[in-house]
Chains A and B, each alone.
Chain A
C-alpha cells in the first residue's frame, strides 16, 4: 500500500488533488481512497489531505502518519512546516518549487522532486491554482501511475465540479508539469519549531472548559490567547508602505481584518506576524501609499 500526504492551504484544492489521485489509481485497477483532514480551516491556513493506494481493498480508516510520498502544493509551506514529518525511509517529497531538488533544504536529505507548478498553472489555467499541475509531477517522480491516468483522474474529479472545459485544462496542466519535473535529492538540516499544543490531562483541563487567560508550557490559552497564533504565514502578498506618500489617515488601520497595521506617530507600519496579505489596506489607501508585493 502507498500512503500519500498532501500539504496545501485552505482554498488551494489539496482535497481535490488527493481525490484526483485516487481516481487515477482506480482507473489503473488499484483500490484507492482520499480524504481530508477534517477541520474547520479557513482559506489560506495550512491544511492536509490524504490518499491511500493499494492492490486490494483498503481497511485502514486512520489518518496517514507515515507517508511514502508527501505532495506540497504551496511553495512557501516547506519553510513553515516539516513536510517530511513521518516520511518513511526511502520516501519522496514532491514539491511545488522553482528550485532544483538539490537547491531545496528540508529537515533531512531524501528523494525529492520539484516542479514550478505555480508557473505551469499560470500558463495553463491563468491562475496560480496548483492542485492539478502537482499531480503531473507526482506521476513523473513516482512512476506509480501513468500520466494519462492522472489526466483522466483529474477530469473525473474536476469535471462535475467546475465543468469539462476547465477540467480538461487542468489535465493539461498536469501533463505540462509532468514534462518539467526534475527529480533528485534535497539537502537536510533545516530545523523546525516543534508545534506546541496544550494537552492537559483530566485534572488540568478546567471543569466545563471554562478557561480564563492562562499561561501554559505550550503558550497562552483561554481568553485573548489567539494573539499567539501568527497568521502571517498564510500570506502570499505583503504590503509595503511608501512613507513619503502616507498621510497617516489610518484608513488601513481601520479596515485591517487582522489588526496588522500599527498606528505610528507620522506613518503607519505593518505587523507581519498577523498580516494575511488580503490587500484591503492597499485598496482603501486614498493616496496609493501601499503596494502589495509577492
Chain B
C-alpha cells in the first residue's frame, strides 16, 4: 500500500513490521517523530513490544544492549548528540555481537549547536563495529530498516546496524512510500535466532571483565564478521529485490558509470540531486557518472578499486570533515586507491545542513573533468561554497 509519509514515519513503520520485542528510545530533534509514531502504534495496540521511554540515549542504548543479550529483537533510533552520548555503548553492542537496529537521523553535532544534516554524528562512529548504510529516499529508509534486521541477525554477521537518513531532507519530507504489508515482512524476515541469552535454563556470562589474553581474539572475530557482512548484504539485497522488486545493488550503486570519464562518489540524499545533474551533463556531452556509496561499514574496498580503474578521475563527496585531512569518505577512498595515479579529489559541501545545490554538484563534476584532462587536481580537498574560500 503506497502512502505519502515522512522518512521518520517510514523508519517507525519499519520497526513496527519487524516486531522487535524491546524498543528503548529517547526523543531528539529531528528523530522525535520516530519515537512519537512508535508511541502511537503501541498505545493504539498496533505494536506488541516493550516500548521503554528512556531517560537518555545512553540509557536507551544500554537497555537495548542488555535486552538483546537476553536474546530478543531490539530497536532504537537517535540523532546527533544522542548518538554521541551512546558512543561508549556502541562498542559494547558490537563486541557482545548484538544485532541492535537503529535508524540515525543525521544531524550536526555541536558545536555550534544546530539541527540540520551533517555526517559528523555517524562518521565518528565508524570504528564502533556497527554496520552503516546511508539512504537516499524514504522508501529506502523503510526497506533498509527491514533489511537491517535480516543482515544484522545473520549468524555470519551478528553485528548491530544503523540506517542513516538525512535530517529534514528525509526525516521531515513526505514522499510516496510502499508500506510493505506485515505478512510480506514476515515472509522476508525470519525470527531472531540468538546464539546467546540470559535465561536461567542456559546460564552464561555476557560481558565478563577480560584480560589481554582474550580481547585481541574478540577484535579479530569482529573484524571477520564485518568483512563477512559484505556477502550477507548482497544476498539480502537480492532476496529483497526478488520479493519486492526494488534492487538497491547492495554495497553501492553505480549510476551512468559505464563509459564515464569521471565519477563522483556520493552519500545520502546528495545522490538524488547528483543523478539529475548527471543526466543534464550527459545531455551536454560530458561523460560523468556517480557511485552511490550505500554502506560505509563494511566498506566496499574492492568495488571502489575496480570502478576507479575505469575512469580518469574520481571524487568523494563528504558531509563532514576530519580536521586537517579531509572528509571520512575521501580518506577511506584514498586508502582504497593506494597505488592509483588518477586524480582523487574530495568535495566538502552541505556541512551543518547547508543545502547542496545542483550547481554545487555540477562544479564538482567540472573540477573532476578538469583534473582528468590535466592528469592532476589543482587542489585535492575542495570546500564547496565556503565564503572566502575559492574552490
Q: Which residues in A have some Cβ–Cβ distance to B below 8 Å?
A: 39-40, 197, 199-202, 205-213, 222-224
In angstroms, Cα B93 to Cα A208, docked, is: 9
Whether A211 touches B97, Cβ cut-off 8 Å, given contacts A197-B213, A202-B220, is: no
Determine whether the beta carbon of A222 is less than 8 Å from that of B205: yes
What 7 pairs between A and B have smallest CB-CB spacing? A210-B196, A208-B97, A212-B204, A208-B96, A223-B203, A210-B206, A205-B217
Which residue of chain A lies nearest to B155 when distances are taken between CB atoms in the complex? Answer: A207
Determine whether the beta carbon of A209 is less than 8 Å from that of B210: yes
The range of chain B's interface size is 20 to 34
In angstroms, Cα B204 to Cα A213, docked, is: 7
Please name all residues of chain A whose beta carbon is closer than 8 Å to the beta carbon of B133 when the two chains form the complex.
Answer: none
Q: Distance (Å) between the CB of A211 and the closest chain B CB? A: 6
Whether A208 touches B208, Cβ cut-off 8 Å, given contacts A202-B217, A202-B221, is: no
Known: A208-B206, A210-B196, A213-B203. 19 other contacts (CB 8 A): A202-B217, A205-B214, A207-B195, A208-B158, A208-B195, A209-B95, A209-B206, A209-B218, A210-B204, A210-B206, A211-B204, A212-B202, A212-B203, A212-B204, A222-B204, A223-B203, A223-B204, A223-B205, A224-B203
Q: Which residues in B have some Cβ–Cβ distance to A below 8 Å?
A: 69, 95-98, 158, 195-196, 202-211, 213-214, 217-218, 220-221, 224
Determine whether the beta carbon of A211 is less than 8 Å from that of B205: yes
* Interface residues of A, dominant DSSP: loop
Q: Mind listing 27 A-B residue pairs with CB under 8 Å? A: A201-B217, A202-B217, A202-B220, A205-B217, A205-B221, A207-B196, A207-B221, A208-B96, A208-B98, A208-B158, A208-B196, A209-B96, A209-B205, A209-B210, A209-B214, A209-B218, A210-B69, A210-B96, A210-B195, A210-B205, A211-B204, A211-B205, A212-B202, A213-B203, A222-B205, A223-B204, A224-B203
In angstroms, Cα B207 to Cα A199, docked, is: 18
Which residue of chain B lies nearest to A213 when distances are taken between CB atoms in the complex? Answer: B203
Which residue of chain B lies nearest to A212 when distances are taken between CB atoms in the complex? Answer: B204
In angstroms, Cα B203 to Cα A222, docked, is: 9
Q: Distance (Å) between the CB of A60 and the closest chain B CB? A: 18
Please name all residues of chain A whose beta carbon is closer than 8 Å to the beta carbon of B210 when the two chains form the complex.
Answer: 209
Please name all residues of chain A whose beta carbon is closer than 8 Å to the beta carbon of B213 when the two chains form the complex.
Answer: 197, 199
Q: Distance (Å) between the CB of B66 and the closest chain A CB? A: 13
Please name all residues of chain B whose beta carbon is closer than 8 Å to the beta carbon of A213 when the two chains form the complex.
Answer: 203
Please name all residues of chain B whose beta carbon is closer than 8 Å to the beta carbon of A211 when the two chains form the complex.
Answer: 204-205, 208
Contacts between the two chains (Cβ within 8 Å), count: 58
Whether A209 touches B208, Cβ cut-off 8 Å, given contacts A197-B213, A201-B217, is: yes
In angstroms, Cα B217 to Cα A202, docked, is: 6
Please name all residues of chain A whose beta carbon is closer than 8 Å to the beta carbon of B211 when the two chains form the complex.
Answer: 39
Which residue of chain A lies nearest to B213 when distances are taken between CB atoms in the complex? Answer: A199
Q: Distance (Å) between the CB of B193 and the closest chain A CB? A: 13
In angstroms, Cα B29 to Cα A82, docked, is: 62
Residue picked from A197, A202, A223, most chain B C-beta under 10 Å: A202
Please name all residues of chain B whose beta carbon is closer than 8 Å to the beta carbon of A200 when the two chains form the complex.
Answer: 217
Which residue of chain A lies nearest to B198 when distances are taken between CB atoms in the complex? Answer: A210
In angstroms, Cα B205 to Cα A223, docked, is: 6
Please name all residues of chain A whose beta carbon is closer than 8 Å to the beta carbon of B214 when the two chains form the complex.
Answer: 205, 209
In angstroms, Cα B159 to Cα A207, docked, is: 11
Determine whether the beta carbon of A40 is less than 8 Å from that of B206: no
Please name all residues of chain A whose beta carbon is closer than 8 Å to the beta carbon of B203 when the two chains form the complex.
Answer: 212-213, 223-224
Please name all residues of chain A whose beta carbon is closer than 8 Å to the beta carbon of B196 when the two chains form the complex.
Answer: 206-208, 210
Please name all residues of chain B whose beta carbon is closer than 8 Å to the beta carbon of A201 when the two chains form the complex.
Answer: 217
Which residue of chain B lies nearest to A199 when distances are taken between CB atoms in the complex? Answer: B213
In angstroms, Cα B196 to Cα A40, docked, is: 27
In angstroms, Cα B207 to Cα A209, docked, is: 7
